Amino acid sequence: MRVLHLCTSDVRGGAARGAYWLHRALRERGVDSRMLVGRKYSDDPDVFTPGGALAPITERIRDRLDALPLRRYAKTDESYWTVGWVPRHIEKSVDSLDPDVIHLHWIGGGFLPVSALARLGRPLVWTLRDMWAFTGGCHYSGACQRFEVACGQCPQLRSRKERDLSRIVRQRKERAWENLDLALVPISRWLADCVRRSGLFPGRAIEIIPNGLDTRVFRPTAKAGARAAWDLPPGKRYILFGALGAIQDRRKGYEKFVEATRYLARACWSTRAEILVFGDLAPDNVAELAIPTRFLGHINDDRRLAELYAAADVMVAPSLQEAFGKTVIEAMACGTPVVAFDGTGPADIITHRKTGYLARPFDARDLANGIAWCLAAPDHTEDLGRAARVRAESRFDISVIADRYADLYRRRCGQTA
């Protein structure tokens, strides 16, 4: 069975890394898996790009062209947007690789236009890692529920018109994808519920398969050694917060986290704990955090990141809207309990009061309660971490996820195991 993964990149970005890990795990299982990406950064001979040597330049141009229609609007920075209009005839590249099934991953920016999917001519599997597939262009809707009624009057575009760009994009999707031979794979129950409420894919097969990770890389290591590797002195309790754009992306819940640190400081944690932040630069208003904080910037090395997870006592992932929570499962795989808000993607990962804590949405005081509960005593924290590791290995290891996808591919191609 030949599988072709389509994604904007192979190893840069959370969705791309998830797709690449799956690709490698499938090959380890004897599946003829290949990737076709806009930007190739690995040296993997089974990863191809339709742009050749000029791909880095042409993909940047395509991204900028895709964003041109947004210039007509005073768009907010609440969510990344993809219009999906820039033409691309990718069929020749697809045909040359002759797959039995095509697996779509993150195809935003200028990588693939909405119209391209119907021309691919193969059974499709689409892993949904955000909301873009069923909205009028945003990748996360925030408080807006207009994706349930075909968009229009988009708050992120600051538009009062019913027939604005969001309505046009949504209607284009409805027409282009009406007869697609497509199986949808949202990565959490929360996202699956959003798909069903959107009404864009009536009668389509929906199967929830979470993101996977390599638990051979993300694994527990001795805390003392991990802390020494990051120059963290002993005797402190370390609270980890981070994600790509952890502070700039308001959806990641930084403001709620700041509020929670004030409650923790009142409970005397400001002298016993230190906060570690990765994935973003230090903000101008560092003083808002009521507990001493180190800003570690971007971390591009998975093994180095795994050391940081292992060095922490608890990870906090206070996203207000999250399809899954890649940092949540990475931390748990490294034996670190996680605190997050209930009611969004991380609720599928964390077992409340067994592998971490699910705070009431979006109650900063209860978030602080969860952090303090996880830190109550070192033995208690270690017990939570061990349970977190067991859950990560049994439910989210990439080998488990690869087997589930291989079974889905066979069903899509009419094959039996």
CATH number at residue 165: 3.40.50.2000
For residue 286, the model assigns a pLDDT of 58
Looking at the domain assignment, is residue 6 inside a domain? Answer: yes
Please tell me whether residues 389 and 292 are part of one structural domain.
Answer: yes
For residue 119, the model assigns a pLDDT of 94
Please tell me whether residues 177 and 134 are part of one structural domain.
Answer: yes
pLDDT at 54 over 90: no
Please tell me whether residues 250 and 357 are part of one structural domain.
Answer: yes
267 contact partners, CB below 8 Å, separation of at least 6:
368, 372
CA–CA separation, 349 and 389 (whole Å): 11
Cis peptide before 362 (omega within 30 of 0): yes
Please tell me whether residues 190 and 237 are part of one structural domain.
Answer: no
- Which range, of 227-231, 282-286, 389-393, averages the lowest pLDDT? 282-286
Write out pLDDT tens, residues 126-147: 999 999 999 999 999 999 999 9
Looking at the domain assignment, is residue 79 inside a domain? Answer: yes
Judged by DSSP in three states, 218 sits in coil
What number is the average pLDDT over the span 37-64?
A: 91
Write out pLDDT tens, residues 305-323: 999 999 999 999 999 999 9
Q: Walk across the sheet containing 2-9 and list its strands.
A: 47-48, 32-39, 2-9, 101-104, 124-128, 182-186, 205-206
Q: Tell me what the pLDDT averaged over the chain comes to.
A: 94
Its sign, for the CA torsion 400, 405, 407, 408, is: positive
Looking at the domain assignment, is residue 417 inside a domain? Answer: no
For residue 287, the model assigns a pLDDT of 58
Please tell me whether residues 407 and 379 are part of one structural domain.
Answer: no
For residue 355, the model assigns a pLDDT of 98
Please tell me whether residues 191 and 287 are part of one structural domain.
Answer: no
For residue 161, the model assigns a pLDDT of 96
Rg (CA), the chain: 22
66 contact partners, CB below 8 Å, separation of at least 6:
82, 83, 84, 85, 86, 109, 110
In the chain, how many domains are there?
2
Its sign, for the CA torsion 134, 135, 141, 144, is: negative
Looking at the domain assignment, is residue 306 inside a domain? Answer: yes
pLDDT at 284 over 80: no
Looking at the domain assignment, is residue 334 inside a domain? Answer: yes
What number is the average pLDDT over the span 327-350?
A: 97
* Domain ranges, residue 81: 2-212+398-412
CA–CA separation, 282 and 292 (whole Å): 13
For residue 416, the model assigns a pLDDT of 58
Please tell me whether residues 193 and 258 are part of one structural domain.
Answer: no
Residue 220, token pair as written in the block: 């527990």
Please tell me whether residues 127 and 65 are part of one structural domain.
Answer: yes
Write out pLDDT tens, residues 150-179: 999 999 999 999 999 999 999 999 999 998
Please tell me whether residues 199 and 276 are part of one structural domain.
Answer: no
Please tell me whether residues 117 and 189 are part of one structural domain.
Answer: yes
Please tell me whether residues 190 and 241 are part of one structural domain.
Answer: no
CA–CA separation, 190 and 323 (whole Å): 7
Looking at the domain assignment, is residue 217 inside a domain? Answer: no
Q: How many Cβ atoms from other residues are within 10 Å of residue 216's Cβ?
A: 10
Please tell me whether residues 260 and 248 are part of one structural domain.
Answer: yes
What number is the average pLDDT over the span 212-229?
A: 96
Amino acid at 417: A
CA–CA separation, 214 and 380 (whole Å): 26
Q: What is the pTM of this model?
A: 0.92
Amino acid at 95: D
Looking at the domain assignment, is residue 183 inside a domain? Answer: yes
For residue 14, the model assigns a pLDDT of 84
Write out pLDDT tens, residues 379-392: 999 999 999 999 99
Looking at the domain assignment, is residue 74 inside a domain? Answer: yes
Q: How many Cβ atoms from other residues are within 10 Å of residue 335's Cβ?
A: 24
For residue 20, the model assigns a pLDDT of 96
